[in-house]
Amino acid sequence: MDAKSERKGRETAPAEEARARPRSDRRRRPPSGDKPVENKRSNDKRAQDIQANDSPSDGNKPSLVRRHPFVAAAVAILVLLAIAAVVTWWLNARQYEWTDDAFIDARTVTVSAEISGRITDVAVTDNQPVEAGAVLLRIDDSDYQASLKQAVAGVVAARAEIADVQAQIKAQNAKIDAAQKQVAQAQATLEFAKSEDQRNRELLAKGTATQQQAQQAASTLRQDQAALDTANANAEAAKSQVAVLQAQVKSDEAKLQQSEAAEDQARTTLTRTTITAPVAGHATNITAAKGTYAQPGQVLMMFVPKDVWVKANFKETQLDLMRPGQPVDIAIDAYPEKAFHGRVDSVQAGSGTAFSLLPAENATGNFVKVVQRVPVKIVFDEPPGVYLGPGMSVVPTVKVR
């Protein structure tokens, strides 16, 4: 171990002596031929050290702001403008609520057949604008014309029966008058017969009249009494016949009402052979064709009215300050260069999921709180003046402050 240490010391001694010599001596020493690259690196390092010693210290260097005052001022102005813009945007944005979950809505009408029959004419084509009351299509009405004529004939017959019975009532009243006159005549005859019978009885008692005369007077009295009873019976029968005829009149009047109802139904059915537009709008999705057989309830076309509005599904957290009547700016994707204006008409009393086919039931134990959407109806201040159909995308912005 000592021999190794001595040999190592002898090898490192020249290098330590070289480092201990002054810099000037080392500079004067001629470079050795076997280490030119190492001498060049040492010279570059010494030049960098001299330059570092000659340069001023970091504490005496001027700041970046002093070296570039205009750039610093421009940056500061830009920062202030950015802050002002953000504050202005926030103050303005907090006055509005908007959503892109909105679309055009309308009460579309399903045009269907109410009666059966062959279609004879389709008066409109796809997406054609029509006015209220315009003819859309026609169904063959020959059978329904015949049914109407039959119903009209039934009404005429019922009225004729009523007129006939009323005439019978008038004739029966005349018979009643005649019967009453016969009763009066029989009553007078009976009174005379009573007087004659009384007179003959008195004359027979005095002996001035015969028994035959008295019996004849009594027989006449009985005959006149029977005649009076017959006249009274005839009068009562005539009166009772009037009640029968009046009951028949009521029955005939009921038949007349039934016939008139059948006529109205036949007339209404006949009008259903011509299908017209309920309101102004556009006929679309037409499936009817001339010559096809229509069945009751069969959908023949769809009809889109001109009266449309915006259905916006706002988050429930956006409804705090939303009220009916607030102004709305409406942006329609189909017309990006046009601006539309409207107002909030109403807010639905319940979220959209509450009226869906399968509403959420939170009492089942799997409740997860989700921000709900509530439909808000927005109407246009003026007719849009452009084609708008149900389902078109809209972005409404409501001014709530």
C-alpha 368/C-alpha 374 separation (Å) is: 18
C-alpha 306/C-alpha 280 separation (Å) is: 6
Task: Tell me the CATH number of domain 308-399, given options 2.40.30.170, 2.60.40.180, 3.30.390.50, 1.20.1730.10.
Answer: 2.40.30.170
pLDDT at 212 over 50: yes
pLDDT category at 266 given cuts 50, 70, 90 is very high
Task: State mean pLDDT over 247-252.
Answer: 85
Residue range(s) occupied by CATH 2.40.50.100 in the chain: 109-139+273-302
Task: Tell me the CATH number of domain 109-139+273-302, given options 2.40.50.100, 3.30.70.20, 2.60.40.650, 3.50.50.60.
Answer: 2.40.50.100
Residue range(s) occupied by CATH 2.40.30.170 in the chain: 308-399
Of 17-21, 119-123, 210-214, 335-339, minimum mean pLDDT range = 17-21
CA distances (Å), 113 to each of 121, 131, 174, in order? 13, 20, 57
* pLDDT the model gives residue 176: 75
Residue range(s) occupied by CATH 1.10.287 in the chain: 142-271
Of the candidates 317, 318, 328, 306, the one whose C-alpha atom is nearest the C-alpha of residue 377 is 328
* pLDDT the model gives residue 105: 93
What letter represents residue 50's amino acid?
A: I
Residues counted in the chain: 401
> Could you write out the three-class secondary structure of 186-253?
HHHHHHHHHHHHHHHHHHHHHCCCCHHHHHHHHHHHHHHHHHHHHHHHHHHHHHHHHHHHHHHHHHHH
pLDDT category at 344 given cuts 50, 70, 90 is very high
Task: State mean pLDDT over 58-85.
Answer: 74
* CATH number of the structural domain 142-271: 1.10.287
Kind and range of the H or E run holding 139: strand 135-139
pLDDT at 227 over 60: yes
Task: State mean pLDDT over 45-59.
Answer: 51
What letter represents residue 380's amino acid?
A: F
Q: Is 16 helix (H, G, I), strand (E, B) or coil?
A: helix
pLDDT at 177 over 60: yes
C-alpha 92/C-alpha 61 separation (Å) is: 46
Q: What is the pLDDT of residues 374-393, one digit of tens each?
A: 999 999 999 888 888 899 99
pLDDT at 29 over 80: no
